[in-house]
């Protein structure tokens, strides 16, 4: 069991600014995960193929700690809301890089 702190950064790339998470290459069931961003309030949403976490919500906010309970590959959408600005993040057409895969081993 490990503590995983996943930082989400605003990154300027060729087609705009993206909210890109530093996701470990693999995680295990039983690990605890907390998402952070120094660029604003981070939000992470799992909705394509479920969530690696327990609970009734597939939405996590900066500083919220969750235990991984499901194995598999899970895609998340990431957003960051800088102070006084609209949220920057995932869009299927404009910013699909704002997110990433969580590869969770049993």
Residue 17: exposure state from Cβ atoms within 10 A (0-12, 13-18, ≥19): middle
Instruction: Supply the CATH classification number for the domain 3-105.
Output: 2.60.40.420
Say which residue, 93 or 68, is predicted with more confidence: 68
Name the band, by pLDDT with cuts 50, 70 and 90, for residue 93: confident
Q: What is the pLDDT of residues 3-52, one digit of tens each?
A: 999 999 999 987 789 999 999 998 999 999 999 999 999 999 997 778 99
Domain layout of the chain by residue ranges: 3-105
56 vs 83: CA distance, rounded Å: 28
Residues in contact with 53: Cβ distance below 8 Å, sequence separation at least 6, in sequence order: 33, 46, 60, 66, 67, 68, 69, 70
pTM here is 0.88
């Amino acid at each position: 069991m490990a503590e995983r702190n996943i930082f989400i950064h605003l990154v300027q790339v060729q087609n705009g600014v993206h909210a890109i998470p530093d996701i470990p290459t693999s995680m295990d069931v039983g690990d605890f995960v907390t998402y952070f961003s120094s660029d604003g309030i981070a939000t992470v949403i799992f909705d394509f193929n479920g969530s690696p976490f327990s609970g009734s919500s597939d939405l996590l906010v900066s500083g919220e700690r969750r235990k991984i309970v499901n194995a598999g590959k899970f895609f998340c959408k990431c957003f960051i809301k800088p102070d006084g600005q609209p949220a920057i993040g995932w869009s299927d057409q404009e910013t699909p890089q704002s997110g990433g895969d969580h590869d969770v081993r049993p």
